[in-house]
C-alpha cells in the first residue's frame, strides 16, 4: 500500500477535519513521486476545492471507513485498482487500467486503421500517417518480418531509381520505447537492414565485453543519455515504420523542427477534454531534410524530444500561442487538434474494447504529440500516458500548474459533486470538451 512522507507544503495544505457526517468530504492521497508535479497537485487542490472539503492522508489505511469519498493520485504502479473497482461511486483515481490501444505505438496504428476502415471519412484517415508494424528478433529475418507490410514494400519499389529528395522517407520507432529512443530514418530496405545489423553488431560486442545480452543504444552520438533514458536492445521486438513528414512547417526566424505537445484529459466513460495551453518543443539544430548527411548517425535535427538534448535549451520549449504564426493557421491547428483528439479516443473506446477499457471513477491525463507540415496539416504522432511534465521546464511551469488546476476543477469536482469556487470556474474554462461518448463503464 502506498505511503508518503510529510512535507511542509503538505502539512500547510492539510484541511481541518470536517463534521463526521459530511457526505461530500474527500480523503485525498496524493503521491505522484515527481518533485516537479507533486507540489503543483497539492496547490491545485488548495485552489480548486473548498477549504474544509478534503483531508490529506499519507496511507489508504487512514481512511476512517470504506464508505468515505477517496481520491488517490499517484504513479500507475501504486494505484489501488482493486479498491477503485469495488467502490465505483465513492473513489476516484488518475489512470485507466487498460489503455494500450492509445499509448503503445503498434496498437495506436491498429486503432486508427480499424477505425478508418469502418469510417473512411474520419479525420484519422487524413491526419495520421500510414504505418506498418512488424516483429523482428534478428536482422537476417527482415524479409519475413515485412511480408505483411504492404505499404512499406510498395514504397521501397516506388523509391527505386529515384533521387533521395524524391523518395518517400520512413521513420522507425521501437514499439515499446519512449522519449525518442531508438528512432531511425530510412527510405530503402537496404537502409533498414543496415539499422538492424548495426544494432546486432553492437549487441554482440556488448555480450563479448560483459556477458550481458542487454545493450543501451544511443539515438544519436550528439545526444546525452542517462542510464534510465537508454533503449535496451533485448526489449526490441515490436516496431512501427511510419511515413516520415519530410517537409514540416518551419518558422522563418527559427527554422528548427518542432512538435506540439497537447495535454488531453479523459474522464469516466467517456469525456475527452483538450487543455487549451499547448507547448511547442523544438529540435536543437536547424532542420535539414532526411536525404541530407545521415552517415554520422546524428539525427538530432529531426528529434524534438527536449529530454534528449544537451547544452543550452534556450527556446527549446515555447508556448504555441506565442509563436509568430498566421492567425488563420493557428486557428486551423487548434481545430484540427480538437477534432483528432476526440476521434482517436472514440476509435479506441469503440473499436478496441479489449485494449482500452473505460471506468466511471477514473480520469487520466495524456500527452498527445502533433506535427504541422508545410501545408498546414496537423498530424498525430503519438499518445503518451503519464507524460514527462519536466520537459516543460521551470520558465513555463505555470502551464503544468494550470493544467492540474483544470484537471481538479473538471474531473475531481464533477465526480464528487463539489460546489465550484471562483478559482475552479476559471481553471475549468481552460478545458475544451471535444468528445462525450456516454459509454457504459
pLDDT at residue 51, rounded to an integer:
86
Please state the rounded mean pLDDT for residues 274-293: 92
User: pLDDT digit string (tens) for 393-408?
Assistant: 999 999 999 999 999 9
Strands (E), 164-222: 170-174, 184-186, 216-217
Identify the domain containing residue 28 by its residue range.
Answer: 8-93
Residue 196, in any domain of the structure: yes
Cα–Cα distance measured from residue 306 to residue 283, given in angstroms and rounded to the nearest whole number:
7
352 and 306 in a common domain: yes
Q: Are residues 283 and 367 in the same domain?
A: yes
Q: How many structural domains are present in the chain?
A: 3
Of 204, 225, 243, which residue constitutes the final position of a domain?
243
User: Are 239 and 265 members of one domain?
Assistant: no
- Grid cell at residue 237: 521486438
- Verify that 351 and 222 share a domain, yes or no: no
Report the distance separating Cα 317 and Cα 306, nearest Å.
8
Mean of pLDDT values over 229-250: 77
Give pLDDT, residue 298: 75
State the helix-helix crossing angle for 397-407 and 38-48, rounded to 10 degrees.
50
Residue 425 CA to residue 292 CA, distance in Å, equals 50
Q: Is residue 298 part of a domain?
A: yes
| DSSP character string of 299-337 | -GGG---GGG--S--TTSEEEGGGS---HHHHHHHHHHH
The single residue listed with the C-alpha cell 476543477 is 409
Higher pLDDT, 386 or 295: 386
What pLDDT is attached to residue 180?
63
Residue 368: pLDDT band by 50, 70, 90 thresholds? very high
| Cα angle value 319/320/324 (rounded, 5°) | 105
Contact status, residue 103 vs residue 264, Cβ threshold 8 Å: no
**pLDDT-wise least confident of 99-113, 197-211, 295-309:** 197-211
Indicate if the pLDDT at residue 217 is higher than 70.
no
Mean pLDDT calculated for residue range 350-363: 97
**Within-domain flag for 349:** yes
Give the model's pLDDT for residue 199: 83
Could you tell me how many helices (H) and strands (E) the chain has, helices first?
13, 17
- 213, 243, 273 - which closes a domain: 243
Bridging pattern class, strands 238-243 and 317-319: unpaired
102 within a domain of the structure (yes/no): no
3-state secondary structure at position 115: helix
Residue 112 included in any domain: no
Arithmetic mean of pLDDT over the chain: 87
pLDDT over threshold 60, residue 232 = no
Residues 14 and 36 occupy one common structural domain = yes
pLDDT over 60 (residue 308): no
DSSP string covering 191-207: HHHHHHHHHHHHHHHHH
The more confidently predicted of residues 20 and 255 is 255
283 lies in some domain: yes
229 and 261 share one domain: no
* Per-residue pLDDT at 350: 98
- Return the higher-pLDDT residue of 16 and 114: 114
For residue 322, give the CATH number of its domain: 3.30.470.20
Range with the largest mean pLDDT of 71-75, 308-312, 314-318? 71-75
For the ranges 179-188, 224-233, 251-260, 335-344, the lowest mean pLDDT is seen at 224-233
Q: Domain check: are 382 and 301 in the same one?
A: yes
C-alpha cell at 290: 532526411
Q: Is residue 124 part of a domain?
A: no
Q: What is the pLDDT of residue 200?
A: 82
Q: What is the pLDDT of residues 90-141, one digit of tens each?
A: 999 999 999 999 999 889 999 999 999 999 999 999 999 999 999 998 888 9
Q: Which of 223, 243, 263 is the last residue of a domain?
A: 243
Mark whether 281 and 174 lie in a shared domain. no
In this prediction, residue 216 carries a pLDDT of 46
252 and 236 in a common domain = no
Q: Is residue 68 part of a domain?
A: yes
Q: How confident is the model at residue 223 (pLDDT cuts 50, 70, 90)?
A: very low
Same domain, 144 and 73: no
Which of the two residues, 257 and 199, has the higher pLDDT score? 257
Show the cell assigned to 7: 512535507
Quick one: pLDDT at residue 276?
96
* pLDDT tens-digit readout, 65-99: 999 999 999 999 999 999 999 999 999 999 999 99
Comparing 104-108, 180-184, 269-273, 362-366, the range with the smallest average pLDDT is: 180-184
Q: Which CATH number covers residue 188?
A: 3.30.1490
Residue 383 CB contacts under 8 Å (≥ 6 apart), including other chains: 102, 103, 108, 344, 366, 367, 368, 369
pLDDT in tens, 169-196: 999 988 776 666 778 999 999 999 999 9
The answer on 265 and 238 residing in a single domain is: no
**Same domain? 80 vs 190:** no
Give the residue with greater pLDDT, 84 vs 207: 84
In three-state secondary structure terms, 265 is strand
Amino acid at each position: 500500500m502506498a505511503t508518503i512522507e510529510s512535507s511542509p507544503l503538505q502539512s500547510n495544505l492539510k484541511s481541518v477535519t470536517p463534521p463526521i457526517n459530511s457526505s461530500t468530504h474527500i480523503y485525498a492521497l496524493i503521491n505522484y513521486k515527481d518533485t516537479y508535479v507533486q507540489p503543483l497537485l497539492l496547490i491545485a487542490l488548495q485552489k480548486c476545492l473548498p477549504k474544509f472539503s478534503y483531508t490529506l492522508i499519507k496511507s489508504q489505511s487512514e481512511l476512517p471507513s470504506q464508505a468515505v469519498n477517496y481520491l488517490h493520485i499517484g504513479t500507475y504502479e501504486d494505484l489501488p485498482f482493486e479498491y477503485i473497482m469495488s467502490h465505483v461511486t465513492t473513489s476516484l483515481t488518475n489512470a485507466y487500467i487498460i489503455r494500450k490501444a492509445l499509448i503503445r505505438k503498434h496498437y495506436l496504428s491498429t486503432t486508427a486503421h480499424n477505425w478508418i476502415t469502418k469510417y473512411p471519412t474520419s479525420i484519422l484517415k487524413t491526419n495520421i500517417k500510414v504505418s506498418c508494424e512488424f516483429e523482428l528478433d534478428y536482422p537476417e529475418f527482415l524479409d519475413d518480418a515485412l511480408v505483411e507490410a504492404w505499404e512499406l514494400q510498395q514504397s521501397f519499389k516506388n523509391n527505386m531509381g529515384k533521387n533521395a529528395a524524391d523518395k518517400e522517407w520512413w521513420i522507425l520507432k521501437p514499439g515499446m520505447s519512449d522519449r525518442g529512443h531508438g528512432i531511425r530514418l530510412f527510405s530503402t530496405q537496404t537502409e533498414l537492414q543496415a539499422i538492424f545489423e548495426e544494432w546486432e553488431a553492437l549487441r554482440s560486442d556488448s555480450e563479448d565485453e560483459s556477458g550481458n545480452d542487454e545493450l543501451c543504444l544511443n539515438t544519436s552520438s550528439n545526444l546525452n543519455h542517462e542510464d534510465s533514458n537508454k533503449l535496451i536492445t533485448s526489449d526490441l521486438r515490436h516496431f512501427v515504420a511510419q511515413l516520415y513528414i519530410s517537409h514540416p512547417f518551419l518558422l522563418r526566424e527559427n527554422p528548427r523542427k518542432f512538435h506540439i505537445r497537447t495535454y488531453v484529459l479523459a474522464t469516466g466513460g467517456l469525456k475527452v477534454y483538450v487543455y487549451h495551453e499547448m507547448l511547442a518543443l523544438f529540435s536543437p539544430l536547424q532542420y535539414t531534410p532526411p536525404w541530407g548527411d545521415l552517415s554520422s548517425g546524428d539525427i538530432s535535427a529531426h528529434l524534438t524530444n527536449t529530454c534528449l538534448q544537451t547544452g543550452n535549451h534556450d527556446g527549446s520549449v515555447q508556448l504555441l500561442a506565442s509563436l509568430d504564426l498566421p492567425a488563420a493557421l493557428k486557428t486551423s491547428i487548434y481545430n484540427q487538434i480538437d477534432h483528432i483528439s476526440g476521434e482517436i479516443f472514440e476509435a479506441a473506446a469503440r473499436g478496441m474494447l479489449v485494449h482500452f477499457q473505460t471506468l466511471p471513477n477514473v480520469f487520466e491525463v495524456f500527452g498527445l504529440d502533433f506535427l504541422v507540415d508545410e501545408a498546414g496539416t496537423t498530424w498525430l504522432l503519438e499518445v503518451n500516458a503519464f507524460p514527462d511534465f519536466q520537459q516543460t521546464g521551470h520558465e513555463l511551469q505555470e502551464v503544468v500548474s494550470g493544467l492540474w488546476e483544470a484537471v481538479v476543477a473538471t474531473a475531481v469536482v464533477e465526480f464528487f459533486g463539489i460546489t465550484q469556487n471562483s478559482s475552479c470556474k476559471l481553471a475549468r474554462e481552460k478545458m475544451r470538451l471535444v468528445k462525450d461518448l456516454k459509454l457504459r463503464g
